[in-house]
Amino acid sequence: MRRPAVVRGALLALVAYCLFIGVTAVAVPHTFYTDFPFLAHWVELLPPYNEHLVTDVGGLYCGFAFFLAWAAWKPERGIVLAASLAFLVVTVPHLLFHVTHLDGFGAVDGVAQTVALTSLLVPPLVAIWGARSLAAEDEALWPVLHYEDTDRALAFLTGAFGFEPGAVVRDEAGRVVHAELHRPGGGSLVFGWAERGAGVHADLRVGAAASYVATDAVEALHARARDAGAEIVQAPHETAFGTGAPTRAFTARDPEGNLWTFGTYRGAG
Helix axes 3-27, 77-99, angle to 10 degrees: 50
Of 206, 200, 198, 183, nearest in space to 253 by CA: 206
Do 121 and 175 fall into the same domain? Answer: no
Q: CA 75 to CA 33: how far, in whole Å? A: 34
Q: What number of CA atoms fall less than 13 Å from residue 175's CA on the CB side? A: 12
Range of the domain at 14: 3-133
Element (H, E) at 16: helix 3-27
Answer yes or no: do 10 and 129 share one domain.
Answer: yes
Q: How much is the pLDDT for 77?
A: 86
CA 142 – CA 89 distance, rounded (Å): 36
- The number of domains in the chain is 2
**Same domain, yes or no: 177 and 249:** yes
Q: Helix, strand, coil: what percent of the chain each, to 5?
A: 45, 20, 35
Q: Report how far residue 151's alpha carbon sits from residue 174's, in angstroms, rounded to the nearest whole number.
A: 9
- Quote the pLDDT of residue 198: 60
Q: What pLDDT, on the 0 to 100 scale, is given for residue 123? A: 97
Q: Tell how far CA 170 is from the center of its chain.
A: 35
232 domain residue, yes or no: yes
What is the percent of the chain with per-residue pLDDT over 90, rounded to a whole number? 76
Mean pLDDT along residues 244-267: 94
For residue 252, the domain's CATH number is 3.10.180.10
pLDDT digit string, tens, across residues 42-92: 999 999 999 999 999 999 999 999 999 999 988 888 899 999 999 999 999
Q: Please list the residues that pair with 180 across neighbouring strands.
A: 190
Q: How far apart are CA 204 and CA 38, in angstroms?
A: 67
Indicate if 100 and 218 belong to the same structural domain. Answer: no
Angle between helices 3-27 and 51-73 (to 10 degrees): 160
Asked if 233 contacts 253 with a C-beta cutoff of 8 angstroms, the reply is yes
- pLDDT tier at 117, thresholds 50, 70, 90: very high
Q: Is residue 269 part of a domain?
A: no
- In this predicted model, what pLDDT tens digit does every residue of 165-187 receive, in sequence order? 999 999 999 999 999 999 988 88
pTM over cut 0.85: no
Return d(Cα 263, Cα 251) in angstroms, integer.
9
Per-residue model confidence (pLDDT) at position 267:
83
pLDDT value at residue 233: 97
Asked if the structure places residue 268 within a domain, the reply is no
